Structure 1
Amino acid sequence: MYVGEMGIDRPRELPWQELVLGGTAVAVLLGLHLLPDSGGVDPVYELLSEYPLRSVVVGVPYTLALLSANTAVVLLGVAMVRQGLLRGWLTTTLLAVWCLSLLGLTVFLKDPVGSAGTWYGTAHKLCTVANFVSLPALCALLWRRFRTVSGWRGNARRVGVLAALSMVCAVPFAAAFLRYGGQLRATGTVLGLIERCIVVLDIATIVTLAAWSRAMAAARDKRRFDHEVI
């Protein structure tokens, strides 16, 4: 709820544009996994970034899904800054790094299995590490900043838990990814499944941050209205 003209409470408009962009991205990624043989990519052992290397049929939808998701998060990030959740350069920078690294993962393809390393494959690896680290770091910073603030302790606790879960998955994944590169199946670990768990956690984190930001804006509007009434 927010206070409109004449002091009447009205529901704050939902971010329909972000919902459509983000929802479309999630639906496309789920759809790729529902294709026969998961679109030619083993969801347990192989990474999502294998899709562009398989065929245009699955590569183009995958790429568009990442671009759609990135656009949604950029728009939500702008709202988070305006609504006061992201304060200061560090929190804004961390979210910007996450968005830029996701864009890098879209632009720079991973090296095919068995191929010699390339500069764009190295760029893909670096973007992977930056993407896995930046969002949990942002959540950890917000947890530290708001963990003792009345009214926001629950939100801080939720993002703190999500950050911890993400790092539990991301640290071993990043270590194996940097060491083995495209030969991930040779590690004998289910890194494809771990990566998909990280993606789910990222989605949950973005949704949680967006909801927190909207709640913070609503609380600010209510305080402003109460002050004007007094």
Structure 2
Amino acid sequence: MSPYMLCPAPARPRLRARLLVPGALAAFAGAVVLLAVLHLDRRLAPLDPVSTMLSDYALSPGRWMWDGALLLTSTGSAVLLVALCRRGLLANPALVAAKALWCVSLLAVAVFAKDPQGGAITATGKIHLYASAVTCLSLPVVGWAMGRRHRDDPRWGRFATWSRRLALAAIPFYLPFIVPFAVNVILGGHLPTVATGLVERLMMVLEIALLGVLGYWAHRAMHPARLPYAGAGSVASPA
């Protein structure tokens, strides 16, 4: 008998708990709007999306929109973290720490701007670089691990599958940044990157989609009465 059949449906969450996921998704939606405006309005950010990095928006007139998008994403991610933990979907302390690290690193990317291209390397720029690296990797790790942990749970199989797929799809986009960086640091050579702006933006789209999946997953977990249980053959009645 599956252990999931023995678990009674949790009690209906209070209003404040039910507002966690909508609040997180609203924050993500706001961040997407700000990023879309930055890409479309060349007066705010006259940048080439194929060759320039996302963090170059911090050096443009639309910096406040870039910082706002990061702040909204970080805040929404923190609220989503609470929701995932409350529903038992993110119970591993290491994964909780990784998700929290994602939230903190987003704030660090906003606070510590990158060094201008060709300019002197500063401590602020280094912090930005390492925070960006953590940001790119931490969320896919959480998404993949969550999907793997819940892949055999009949309630969450579909969510777990998409969580793993999006996480695995995002990781290769990380390689064009980390491989040249490792070669330049370890071997002292220079390995150029190609179309880094486009690569980074594709990775951003995949990670936003992953956040959406995790948000919808948490939303469904907030309404256990609507979920079918393995072998039950019917939907549990509302509490």
What's the TM-score bracket when you normalise by the shorter of the two chains?
0.7 to 0.9
Q: What residue ranges of structure 2 are gaps of 5+ in the alignment?
A: 1-9, 186-190, 229-234
Tell me the residue number matched to 1:219.
Answer: 224
Structure 1 pair 27–180 and aligned structure 2 pair: CA distance change class (3 A): farther
Deviation at 1:179, TM superposition (A): 5.9
TM-score normalised to structure 1 length: 0.82
Deviations 1:15-57 (A, max 9, x none): 4433332222111110011113772211001011111213xx3
| Alpha carbons 1:77, 1:95 under 8 Å: kept | yes
| Alpha carbons 2:34, 2:69 under 8 Å: kept | yes
Q: What residue ranges of structure 1 are gaps of 5+ in the alignment?
A: 6-11
Tell me the residue number matched to 1:152.
Answer: 156
| Alpha carbons 2:225, 2:237 under 8 Å: kept | no
Structure 1 pair 228–136 and aligned structure 2 pair: CA distance change class (3 A): closer
The counterpart of 1:197, out of the listed 192, 195, 202, is: 202
Name the CA distance, whole Å, in 2 between partners of 1:21 and 1:169: 25
| Alpha carbons 1:140, 1:163 under 8 Å: kept | yes
Tell me the residue number matched to 2:214.
Answer: 209
1:64-75 matches, within 5 Å, as: 64-75=68-79
Q: How many residues align?
A: 215
Name the CA distance, whole Å, in 2 between partners of 1:228 and 1:45: 53
Q: Could you say what secondary structure the match of 1:39 adopts?
A: coil
More helix by share: 1
Tell me the residue number matched to 2:25.
Answer: 19
State the one-letter code of the partner of 1:147: R
In the alignment, structure 1 residue 116 sits paired with structure 2 residue 109:
no
Deviations 1:43-98 (A, max 9, x none): 001011111213xx311111112112211111111111112111131121111011
Deviations 1:149-197 (A, max 9, x none): 222222111111111111011122233356679xxxx936111011111
Structure 1 pair 222–71 and aligned structure 2 pair: CA distance change class (3 A): same
Deviations 1:106-157 (A, max 9, x none): 1111111111211111111111111111111111211221122222222111
The counterpart of 1:130, out of the listed 134, 138, 153, is: 134
The counterpart of 1:102, out of the listed 103, 106, 129, is: 106
In the alignment, structure 1 residue 52 sits paired with structure 2 residue 76:
no
Name the CA distance, whole Å, in 2 between partners of 1:228 and 1:59: 47
Structure 1 pair 220–142 and aligned structure 2 pair: CA distance change class (3 A): farther
State the one-letter code of the partner of 1:85: L
| Alpha carbons 1:125, 1:177 under 8 Å: kept | no
Name the CA distance, whole Å, in 1 between partners of 2:182 and 2:66: 23
Structure 1 pair 14–52 and aligned structure 2 pair: CA distance change class (3 A): closer
